[in-house]
Amino acid sequence: MKNEKGMTLITTAVLVIVIASLVFAVTYYIRIAYAKEELESLKTDMLLVQAKVKKINGEYTLQKKEEVLKGTKIEDMKEETAIKQFLEKELININEKGKKYYVLDQKQLKELELDKVKLEKDSYYIVEYTTNSVYYTQGVSYTDGNTYYEINEIENLAVEEVK
């Protein structure tokens, strides 16, 4: 019998398991890193929108003119699919007295000099000028099974837990 040198079946199986584990670990790390980046990007965008809303609210407080408020009144967009679905979740009450809900799309964000803030297709920011609240119609899915839409809720999410 010849003395053959090479990998045995057991050695090959162990090598395959090690390689598979490495691939799994790298894939998992990349997925988590991507989710972190997406969440941080959304937080930054929402904070930029909120800062602009605060500035506009200040101007409105001084002038008391509706023309100062930017965006489209939410009442005018109730039939838009994304807005309709958002309102069905009953996260906001558009009929609440004193509240000023407006919808911002990509064009209006550009007019507000927020060119770097990007929206996904068929999504909007809903802003409430009296409380400076910002809502994202797509929301963010979280590992607890919930979806969060409001900036204050999204800011508090732990990045590691994002789906």
Contact (CB, 8 A) for 49 and 127: yes
Structural domain boundaries in the chain: 42-161
Kindly give the confidence (pLDDT) of every residue in the chain, 163 residues in length, as a single tens digit, with 9 standing for 90 and above.
556 666 788 888 999 999 999 999 999 999 888 878 888 888 889 999 999 999 988 888 888 788 888 888 988 888 888 888 888 888 888 888 888 899 999 999 998 899 888 888 889 999 998 888 999 998 888 767 788 889 888 888 765 454 4
Instruction: Give pLDDT, residue 3.
Output: 62
Q: How many CB atoms lie within 10 A of CB 86?
A: 23
Instruction: Give pLDDT, residue 104.
Output: 93
pTM here? 0.77
Backbone angles phi, psi at 109, to 5 degrees: -60, -40
Contact (CB, 8 A) for 160 and 139: no
